[in-house]
Structure 1
Amino acid sequence: MPRKHERKTVAVGTVLDSSAGRRESRISDLSLGGCYVESMTGFQPGEAVSFDLSDQSGGTVGFTGEVAYVLDGFGFGLRFTNLGPEQIAFLERALPEEQYHEQPSY
């Protein structure tokens, strides 16, 4: 199934909070719809996860998501849930403009 939003390659360390506790991880790509989290530990599709991301000015924004798919031993795709104005504004600052504005069709 194709993604709704193109992902941007990033390298961001974060700490994930889930039912299994807190785990250090790294986000390797990001979009308005979700992200890919590198993690060798097991997560299950549908599992709820929360984490904070920091912007270049040092501000921190909390995100929540649901595991969309798992690549065992490598990581998982996370679909954002409950995006509010603060999270959307953060993502719009972090992502190239063409990812969050519809492009005209010619």
Structure 2
Amino acid sequence: MPREQNRIQIPMEILLDSASGKREARISDLSIGGCFVDSIASFPEGERMQFELRLPDSTVEKMTGEVSYVIEGNGFGMKFVGLSEKQTALISWIITENGGTP
């Protein structure tokens, strides 16, 4: 099944805040609808969590995501939930600035 959005490969640091606590992680790809989180920690599909996305200018954007699938020992796909217009525009800008199409 084809993806709904185009993804770009981009490493970005995030701080996950889940039911099991806070932990540093990194995303390896990004789309307007979600990202892939590199993590050896396991989270159940459907779990919602807050996370902080660290931007290139060192600012932090707080968002909410939901685990959409898990690749054990590798990471998980996370779809964004309830993004504001500002957050959607920010993600679009990051994608465009890195050579992608939102």
Q: Which runs of 4+ in 1 moved over 4 A?
A: none
In the alignment of these two chains, the number of paired residues is 100
Tell me which of the two structures has the higher relative contact order, counting C-alpha pairs closer than 8 angstroms and 6 or more residues apart.
2
Check conservation: 2:13, 2:54, Cα contact below 8 A: no
Bigger radius of gyration: 1
Check conservation: 1:55, 1:90, Cα contact below 8 A: no
- Unmatched runs of 5 consecutive residues or more in structure 2: none
Structure 2 match to 1:39: 39
TM-score, normalized by length of structure 2? 0.89
How far does residue 10 in structure 1 lie from its aligned partner after superposition?
A: 0.8
Which runs of structure 2 are paired with 1:77-92 in the superposition (5 Å)? 77-92=77-92
String of CA shifts for 1:39-68, please: whole Å, max 9, x gaps: 001111000121112333333211111000
RMSD: 1.5
Structure 2 match to 1:6: 6
Check conservation: 1:62, 1:87, Cα contact below 8 A: no
Identity %: 40
Which runs of structure 2 are paired with 1:58-73 in the superposition (5 Å)? 58-73=58-73
Q: Which amino acid aligns with 2:48?
A: A
How far does residue 98 in structure 1 lie from its aligned partner after superposition?
A: 5.9
Check conservation: 1:61, 1:90, Cα contact below 8 A: no
Q: Which amino acid aligns with 1:22?
A: K
